[in-house]
Structure 1
Amino acid sequence: MMSLRSIVRSAPRALTRASASTVVCRSQAAIRTSSLSAFRTQSAALRPQQASAFSTSIFRSAAANANETDEELSLKLASEIEFEQDVKENEPIPTSVKDYMENGPFKIHDTPGKEEVVLTRTYGNETITVSFSIADLHNYEQNDMYDEDPALSDEDAEGEGRSQERDGEPAEGEEDLEGLTNEPEVPCRLNIVVEKPGQGALTIEAVAQEGAIVMENMFYYKDAKLAHGANAETSHAAQDVYPGPPFGSLDEDLQILMERYLEDRGITQALAVFVPEYMDMKEQKEYLSWLTNVKKFIDA
């Protein structure tokens, strides 16, 4: 299911759909007027004595429409920016995120404008890197929308609305904040790399969701550079390395010991809680920055 922020974002768009339709109608009317004017001018252009009137009227009309569209787009972007700023102000940093940033064992590397977040720490002679990306949030929401059957959703909504009306509960269309807060958490994919000098690296693919970390695959690379895939060459070379069996098919005792191995290095439940919440915060920050940059470009 979509995240709570995505559901909230869709609300103002739904409320302004009527006004947006009005804008579209106005734009379409302007286009029809422009097209009629162009047709009349083109017909007049067939007469040699009026040929000079063709180019000036067409270009003036097109320029006027372009300026109007730019202004409407800038105003809409300003409205979205204001909404996102209100969301940011009304959503304080979660306590779990603040505590982890202040007391967690990892150093956070978050570059503005980039999707990936990297966590690093040392443990004895080991260098440990954990990376995740806000792209997972977008991909999850898109897949969730594609998986829904509109026809079935309409039928379910109609049936639920009738049932709620019979039971004296809020009818269809009314807010159900309790239902929104019970949305399942977005699964966050983690790429965990444990390096030792001169010994290569272990790479663990895992998922953080619902306060737990689930390991999926584990790789060993003699060359630690292959664990990071910094460029196309190393990524291609890493694909040729024997990947090992899926983690879930390993001996149960081996799985348990490997999970303890990661917990000793800070891959714990606290990290599983921190990552999804931090990812949601970063997505909101990056989206607000993106809106601001687009508006500046349109207004320039």
Structure 2
Amino acid sequence: MLSLRAFSRSIPRVSRSVARTSLRPAVLPKSIAQPWKQASKPIYASFSTSSAFREPAAEGDIELLAKLDEEVKHEKASGAEDAKEQKTSIDYTLKAGEWEVKDVAGEQEVVLTKKFGNEKIRVTFTVADINNLSEDPMDDLHDDALSDEADFQQSSRDVESEDDILPPTFPARLSIAIEKANSGALLIQAVIQDGDLQVEEISHFKEAEIAYSQTAEKDWTRQSLYAGPPAENLDPELLAFWGRYLEERGLNVEFQTMVTDYIAYKEQKEYVSWLENVRKFIAA
């Protein structure tokens, strides 16, 4: 599946040409001074002490660096306004819901925690979900390319601008642990897609740590215990009450929108950081 970034770039737009100007370092001439005669004013700096004369590992490195520079500038310029709006909306929802956030730069997972009465609630999601689109946008683009002129004109009337083309949504998976002192914890696996929170599995563990611990031992214990039936096998009315149960704990429509926005926001930030780190490595 393509990422949202790949989809956005597949939409026709004004092409951005890559400057292919020669960036290869000039070859310095050898010193013309006689070995027994020292020049009073050396013309060239020492090769061994100046990083400006460091040779690249391969010729392709220079073009790769130029492309990475272009990509960083493009991502920062095109995503700045969206990122600002997303951050404002995300912060508002988190504050209103009294959520505390654990978001470590460079890591894919985000953890939200809060207290609700005598409960401790822990919600975990990952930016990796943004790569799991519900459909392949290239299918529609391919069909459009093969359509005749009449279909193309009709399509042009239906879609007036790029802003009218909405990217397909991705399923955002949530791991929800609800803990009570001396009563263990519930572990609810759910997924957000198309503005709907769908419960997939509900498990109860007598030891609360089993519900959210990431150690191999706890993970093995978690998988060996009975996890409950698939939610789709539950009575529809009972499943509806589970939806209300989560909504009353702050996992409402606004929260669901915030999660998908957060995933997109963090993935974009991590992508730019990745580009910059890779560029520094190539240039070192």
TM-score, normalised by the number of residues in structure 1: 0.72
Gaps of 5+ in 1: 27-62
Is the contact between residue 202 and residue 220 of structure 1 (CA under 8 Å) also seen in structure 2?
A: yes
- Partner Cα distance (1:157, 1:187) in 2: 28
- Partner Cα distance (1:19, 1:263) in 2: 49
Deviations 1:69-100 (A, max 9, x none): 22221111111110111023232323532421
1:99 matched to 2:92: yes
1:132 matched to 2:120: no
Distance change >3 Å, CA 161–CA 238, structure 1 → 2: farther
What corresponds to 1:6 in structure 2?
6
**Secondary structure of residue in 1 paired with 2:59:** helix
Deviations 1:146-173 (A, max 9, x none): x966xx96455312654123x48379xx
Is the contact between residue 11 and residue 162 of structure 2 (CA under 8 Å) also seen in structure 1?
A: no
Higher helix fraction (1 or 2) = 1
Is the contact between residue 211 and residue 269 of structure 1 (CA under 8 Å) also seen in structure 2?
A: yes
**Secondary structure of residue in 2 paired with 1:184:** coil
Gaps of 5+ in 2: 23-53
1:164 matched to 2:152: yes
Please state how far the C-alpha of 1:224 moved relative to its aligned partner.
1.4
Distance change >3 Å, CA 72–CA 11, structure 1 → 2: farther
1:77 aligned residue (61, 68, 72): 68
**Secondary structure of residue in 2 paired with 1:93:** helix
Distance change >3 Å, CA 161–CA 175, structure 1 → 2: farther
Is the contact between residue 187 and residue 207 of structure 1 (CA under 8 Å) also seen in structure 2?
A: yes
- Partner Cα distance (2:283, 2:202) in 1: 49
Is the contact between residue 97 and residue 274 of structure 1 (CA under 8 Å) also seen in structure 2?
A: yes
Q: Percent identity?
A: 37
Is the contact between residue 100 and residue 114 of structure 2 (CA under 8 Å) also seen in structure 1?
A: yes
1:248 matched to 2:248: no
- Aligned residue pairs total 251
**Secondary structure of residue in 1 paired with 2:203:** strand
Please state how far the C-alpha of 1:205 moved relative to its aligned partner.
0.6
The worse-fitting range, judged by mean Cα deviation, of 255-264 and 125-134 is 255-264
- Partner Cα distance (2:155, 2:120) in 1: 59
What corresponds to 2:187 in structure 1?
203
Distance change >3 Å, CA 242–CA 248, structure 1 → 2: same
- Partner Cα distance (1:198, 1:127) in 2: 12
What corresponds to 1:89 in structure 2?
80
Distance change >3 Å, CA 242–CA 284, structure 1 → 2: same
Please state how far the C-alpha of 1:231 moved relative to its aligned partner.
1.1
- Partner Cα distance (2:79, 2:141) in 1: 31
- Partner Cα distance (1:188, 1:158) in 2: 33
Is the contact between residue 210 and residue 273 of structure 1 (CA under 8 Å) also seen in structure 2?
A: no
What corresponds to 1:51 in structure 2?
none
